A and B are shown apart, each in its own frame.
Chain A
Amino acid sequence: MTGRGDERSAGEKRWRRRSMLLLVILLPLVAAVTARDSIERWWNGRDRIVREIAAGDQVDFGGARWQLHALRMAPLPAGGNIPDNAMGVVADFRVQIQDADLPGNWRGCTIALQDGQGRRWMPTHVLPLPRTDASECISAIYSGAKAGATLRIRQAFLVPREAAAALRVTVSLARQQPHYLRFAQHPRLVQ
């Protein structure tokens, strides 16, 4: 009687050990499998891999050929929505369309300025810019531009004066992430 009881408890102990070991392996495995999609989307949905573009160069990106035509800056007087110590920066692109599916290719189009510490300035609408045929990246998506056409894309930014001269423009498109463009050109001061 005692012998059989010992045997059973030894078997139980062995299985309990195996189950605990399996639990340690299986739990993280299940968590990894269920979270894989979200982790993948998070990891690839960020601007992670930079493509450096030399000044004046053209680059094929998201079904179009991008060129940073001009990057200008000017100090702004404070008042209204313009804070003290602000510099206005305007980025002008010439973009030749190769694939006319702009709603697909340019989804999530973001043009931003970046400094060496990783700070990012997004486009602003508070600068009074003269009217031209240039449009913003997101509104150009619905311009109906055909393949072969050249679009003028213009974005304005509000940045601190001391940081302005060292800033660089980045372009990112949802379909191209984690890849994004960074142009070497720095802003040129105009009055």
Chain B
Amino acid sequence: MKRRLATLLLLAAAAAVLFAMQRSTPRYDELTGPLLVSGRMGQPVRTRLFDANVERVQFARQLVYERFDRQTVRTTSGLWAIVTVELSARSRSMHVGRASWVGPQGFQYLLSDRLALAPGQSPPAIEPGLPRRARYFFEIRPDQVDGAVLWLSEHVGPRLDSEAHIKLDVLPRAADGALDVMDTFDMNAAIKEQP
């Protein structure tokens, strides 16, 4: 009787362990997901394929650009966030085609597709030994500014490859501590000054 009880207990314990293992098994997506490389603004973040250094974050209420001799204004009910990054390829030419602004509550903003025809909006091509500046534009909610993180990678959802997560912790502030938001950001002028 005692042995039977012990066997039953052992079986129950084994079932419990198996259940726990089944529940805690990481999904395939998680097992083969991106390998995170974290850093903060002003520091070079080294991933397998590229180095990234976020130099500056700016905010604007509207963007202005010229295309085919016509000026286009893009307004927003939120904020335009402009992130300037110095990028450099490590071993081969590549594009850093995927960038997202991830807010403090985990809201993820992809590059704005409202700027599809604006100048300089193709994914920045980078070459080994030739660092260059790139600007990424996001349309975000004003409450997603503090504690945000920039995610950068070569493709959407890298598999078993690195993804840079850079804390955006140096934001433009006015003397009273309020966020410094420009009225207008001129995209054409910005391209002329950036090599």
Task: List residues of A whose CB falls within 8 A of some B CB.
Answer: 78-86, 118-122, 124, 126, 158-160, 162-163
Q: With A82-B195, A84-B195 as given contacts, are A119 and B130 in contact (CB-CB < 8 Å)?
A: no
Within 8 A of A (CB), among B129-184: 129-132
Q: With A82-B195, A84-B195 as given contacts, are A124 and B125 in contact (CB-CB < 8 Å)?
A: yes
| Contact residues of B: prevailing secondary structure | mixed
Q: With A124-B127, A159-B129, A159-B130 as given contacts, are A119 and B191 in contact (CB-CB < 8 Å)?
A: no
Q: How far is the CA of A81 from the CA of B132 in the complex (A)?
A: 9
Name the one of A84, A118, A121, A162 contacting B127, with C-beta atoms under 8 angstroms: A121
Q: How far is the CA of A158 from the CA of B129 in the complex (A)?
A: 10
Q: Which residues of chain A are within 8 angstroms of B92 by Cβ–Cβ distance? A: 119-122
Q: Which residues of chain B are within 8 angstroms of A160 by Cβ–Cβ distance? A: 127-130
Within 8 A of A (CB), among B49-63: none
The reply to whether B127 and A158 contact each other, CB–CB distance below 8 Å, is: yes
The reply to whether A163 and B129 contact each other, CB–CB distance below 8 Å, is: yes
The reply to whether B131 and A83 contact each other, CB–CB distance below 8 Å, is: yes
Q: Which residues of chain B are within 8 angstroms of A84 by Cβ–Cβ distance? A: 130, 195
Residue of B nearest to A86 (CB): B130
CB 8 Å contact bits of B107-129 with A (1 = contact, 0 = none): 00000000000000000010111
Q: How far is the CA of A126 from the CA of B130 in the complex (A)?
A: 14
Expressed in whole angstroms, the minimum distance between the Cβ of B30 and any Cβ of chain A is 21
Residue of A nearest to B87 (CB): A83
Q: How far is the CA of A160 from the CA of B88 in the complex (A)?
A: 12
Expressed in whole angstroms, the minimum distance between the Cβ of A88 and any Cβ of chain B is 11
Q: How far is the CA of A167 from the CA of B129 in the complex (A)?
A: 13
Expressed in whole angstroms, the minimum distance between the Cβ of B52 and any Cβ of chain A is 15
B93 at the A interface (CB under 8 A): yes
Q: Which residues of chain B are within 8 angstroms of A82 by Cβ–Cβ distance? A: 195
The reply to whether B127 and A159 contact each other, CB–CB distance below 8 Å, is: yes
18 A-B pairs within 8 Å (CB atoms) are namely A79-B195, A83-B130, A83-B132, A84-B130, A85-B130, A118-B91, A119-B91, A120-B91, A120-B93, A120-B128, A121-B93, A121-B127, A124-B125, A158-B130, A159-B127, A160-B128, A160-B130, A163-B129
Residue of B nearest to A164 (CB): B129
Name the one of B93, B131, B191, B192 contacting A122, with C-beta atoms under 8 angstroms: B93
Residue of A nearest to B128 (CB): A119
Q: How far is the CA of A18 from the CA of B132 in the complex (A)?
A: 62
Q: How far is the CA of A156 from the CA of B127 in the complex (A)?
A: 13
Q: How far is the CA of A162 from the CA of B129 in the complex (A)?
A: 9
Q: How far is the CA of A116 from the CA of B130 in the complex (A)?
A: 17
- A121-B93, A160-B127 known, 20 other contacts, Cβ within 8 Å: A78-B195, A79-B192, A82-B195, A83-B127, A83-B131, A84-B130, A86-B127, A119-B90, A119-B128, A120-B91, A120-B92, A120-B93, A121-B127, A121-B128, A158-B127, A158-B130, A159-B127, A159-B130, A160-B128, A163-B129
Q: How far is the CA of A57 from the CA of B147 in the complex (A)?
A: 60
Nearest 4 pairs between A and B by C-beta?
A160-B129, A122-B93, A83-B132, A78-B195
Q: How far is the CA of A142 from the CA of B129 in the complex (A)?
A: 34
